[in-house]
């Protein structure tokens, strides 16, 4: 099964991810307009989803979210999970991993922007998957800005 289909099954679409990314979009050389940014982001997101390693990281987030909801993760108290307490850091580590894998340190920086503000669907998702999606958006956004600049004459 395709990772986009797995995300869709849990209620996260390609368009949800794109629109969430656009909530913190900033005009930048090569992505000066919202329409241009949206298209470049979608292209970068498609490219990212073609990487099997990234798909595995996203799958890990989906599986952790599913298992945490069922109370199946050893030593993870259901209250700690449902309240996304600060003592739960594995979700942040996974988000950072996704962002850095895609976009390096710039991706990590953008992950922090999205994770702290939780725009769009990020504010509606559980502790593991919100960080994975924030990492995905952060990494892809960093690449969008970098590639946009490379296409400026």
pLDDT digits 0-9 by tens, 45-80: 999 999 999 999 999 999 999 999 898 999 887 777
Q: Average pLDDT over the chain, rounded to whole?
A: 93
Question: Both tokens of residue 12?
Answer: 């996260």
Q: 137 and 117 in contact (C-beta within 8 Å)? A: no
Please compute the mean of the pLDDT values over residues 95-99 and round it to a whole number: 98
Kindly report the backbone phi and psi dihedral angles of residue 112, in degrees, each rounded to the nearest multiple of 5, phi listed first: -60, -40
CB atoms under 10 Å from CB of 92, counted, come to: 19
Counting residues of the chain whose pLDDT is more than 70, the rounded percentage is 96
Residue 129 has pLDDT above 90, yes or no: yes
Residue 151 has pLDDT above 70, yes or no: no
Parse the chain into domains and list their residue ranges: 3-150
Distance CA 115, CA 139 (A): 12
What's the pLDDT tens digit per position in 104-120?
Answer: 999 999 999 999 999 99
- CATH for 3-150 is 1.10.3760.10
Distance CA 40, CA 36 (A): 6
Task: Look at residue 152 in the predicted model and tell me its pLDDT.
Answer: 62
């Amino acid at each position: 099964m395709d990772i986009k289909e797995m995300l869709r099954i849990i209620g996260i679409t390609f368009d949800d991810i794109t629109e969430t990314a656009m909530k913190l979009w900033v005009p930048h050389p090569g992505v000066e307009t919202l329409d241009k940014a949206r298209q470049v982001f979608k292209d970068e997101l498609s490219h990212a989803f073609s990487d099997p390693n990234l798909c595995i990281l996203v799958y890990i987030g989906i599986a952790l979210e599913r298992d945490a909801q069922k109370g199946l993760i050893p030593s993870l108290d259901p209250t700690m999970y449902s309240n996304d307490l600060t003592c739960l850091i594995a979700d942040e580590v996974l988000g950072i991993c996704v962002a850095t894998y895609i976009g390096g340190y710039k991706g990590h920086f953008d992950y922090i922007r999205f994770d702290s503000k939780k725009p769009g669907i990020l504010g509606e998702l559980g502790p593991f998957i919100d960080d994975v999606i924030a990492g995905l958006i952060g990494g892809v956004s960093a690449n969008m800005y970098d590639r946009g600049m490379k296409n400026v004459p």
